[in-house]
């Protein structure tokens, strides 16, 4: 047990937990509004554990859409996680199979972003850090979903305390942190345009997949320029 | 409030959870089946973090009011020099100022 790794994980996760607490409350409140009860809200936050897709599922649930269509929509919204687990595999090669299966269960957007950032700064991803970070987000996510379900109607407008800006700001900060990666500017520009087009023409949450596809495609088509130093490190893992 | 799980709803949630877990291990299963990763695929995978996270904040900027736009621009500038928590605080304070002092 490395105490330092755990402490760093707890600290990093706390920032995310704070940013997503309002989102969890919102989810709980909307879910009850759409016909779920408290244990169902808890079950969904505990097992699906993917904020945006949970809201999409709830939205469709409220409209009494066929069950398979609800599941398919959640699958589509979460499809980006296929890219996450593919990109993360190289940093988790020292985990056992059981540890990997657990690690992938909690692979949400900030978990992915922070793990990549930590690994790229030269640190080894330890199980202690990874799970401490995950638990610090998972437990409040579940708790605040339940709070939202129980007291949803009593919570006022999140705009008053500007809680609604925290998540976009958080993701913005992580994007800026990647600015020295190869192809950063063309990729971000393509994703930005793609997600806005997707948002306007197809609608949320499809803009995530469409925008990501734009950015990833641009990176794949640009001339290959292996950054010095990273190539050999990665070759060792693959 | 009714505190009993409705079986149909519970199964729907379990199915959604299984579909989500499938996406979370899918990339791992695919990538470990390849003996080597083609360079263009590697370039694409390297772009995943920036590409996906951009889509999570672009619509907020594009569709948000002037308050959100200013807050995100301030946070962007601050994040070039300062760590995440300071950036969050600066953006949050800007949004609060915009809303409560300037009525944006």
Contact A191 B50 (CB under 8 A): yes
The lowest-confidence range among A119-128, A132-141, A229-238, B3-12 is: A229-238
Which residues of B are less than 8 Å from A214 in CB distance? 51
Interface test with B, best of A162, A189, A194 (most B CBs within 10 A): A162
**pLDDT per position as a tens digit, A130-154:** 999 999 999 999 999 999 999 865 6
A229: left (phi over 0), alpha (psi -120 to 50) or beta: left
SS3 annotation, A59-99:
HHHHCCCCHHHHHHHHHHHCCHHHHHHHHHHHHCCCCCHHH
What pLDDT score does A168 carry? 84
| Chain A residues with CB-CB distance to B2 below 8 A | 37
Please give, rounded to a whole number of angstroms, the shortest distance from the CA of A140 to a CA of chain B.
19
**What is the spatial distance between Cα A133 and Cα A117, in angstroms, rounded to a whole number?**
13
Percent of chain A with pLDDT over 70: 90
What would the pLDDT profile of B20-39 be if each residue is shown by its tens digit? 999 999 999 999 998 777 88
The pLDDT value given to residue A153: 57
Say whether A155 sits in a helix, a strand or coil. Answer: coil
Residues A85-98 pLDDT 10s: 999 999 999 999 99
B37-75 core/surface letters (b: 16 or more CB in 10 A; e: else): beeeebbbbbbbbbbbbbbbbbbbbeebeebbbbbbebb
Q: Where are the domains of chain A?
A: 3-178, 180-238
- Angle between helix A206-221 and A80-88 (nearest 10): 50
Those of residues 31-60 in B touching chain A at CB distance below 8 A are 31-32, 36-37, 39-60
Query: How far does B86 lie from chain A, in Å, by closest CA?
Result: 10
Would you say residue A40 has pLDDT above 70? yes
Q: Which of A169, A207, A224, A232 to mutate to test the interface with B (most CBs of B within 10 A)?
A: A169
Could you state, in order of their start, the residue ranges of all structural domains in chain B? 1-33, 48-104
Return d(Cα A58, Cα A39) in angstroms, integer. Answer: 14
Query: What would the pLDDT profile of A53-83 be if each residue is shown by its tens digit?
Result: 888 788 778 767 788 878 887 887 788 899 8
């Amino acid at each position: 047990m490395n105490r330092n790794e755990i402490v760093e994980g707890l600290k990093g996760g706390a920032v995310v937990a704070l940013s997503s607490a309002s989102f969890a409350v919102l989810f709980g409140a909307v879910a009850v509004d759409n016909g779920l009860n408290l244990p169902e809200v808890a079950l969904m936050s505990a097992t699906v554990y993917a904020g945006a897709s949970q809201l999409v599922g709830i939205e469709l649930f409220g409209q009494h859409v066929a069950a398979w269509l609800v599941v398919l929509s959640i699958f589509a919204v979460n499809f980006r996680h296929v890219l996450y687990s593919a990109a993360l595999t190289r940093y988790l090669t020292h985990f056992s199979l059981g540890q990997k299966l657990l690690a992938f269960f909690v692979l949400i957007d900030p978990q992915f972003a922070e793990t990549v950032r930590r690994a790229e700064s030269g640190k080894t991803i330890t199980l202690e850090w990874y799970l401490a970070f995950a638990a610090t987000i998972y437990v409040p996510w579940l708790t605040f979903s339940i709070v939202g379900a129980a007291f949803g109607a009593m919570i006022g407008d999140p705009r008053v305390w500007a809680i609604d800006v925290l998540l976009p700001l958080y993701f913005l900060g992580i994007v800026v942190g990647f600015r020295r990666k190869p192809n950063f500017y063309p990729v971000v520009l393509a994703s930005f345009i793609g997600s806005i087009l997707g948002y306007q023409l197809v609608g949320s949450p499809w803009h995530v997949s469409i925008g990501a596809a734009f950015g990833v495609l641009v990176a794949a088509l640009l001339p290959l320029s292996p950054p010095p130093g990273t190539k050999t490190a990665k070759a060792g893992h693959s | 409030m009714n505190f009993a799980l409705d079986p149909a709803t519970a199964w729907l949630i379990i199915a959604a959870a299984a579909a989500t877990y499938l996406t979370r291990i899918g990339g791992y299963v695919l990538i470990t089946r390849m003996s080597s990763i083609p360079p263009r695929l590697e370039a694409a995978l390297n772009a995943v973090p920036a590409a996906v996270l951009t889509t999570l904040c672009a619509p907020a900027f594009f569709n948000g009011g002037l308050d959100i736009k200013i807050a995100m621009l301030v946070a962007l500038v601050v994040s070039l020099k300062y760590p995440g928590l300071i950036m969050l605080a600066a953006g949050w304070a800007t949004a609060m100022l915009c809303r409560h002092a300037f009525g944006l």
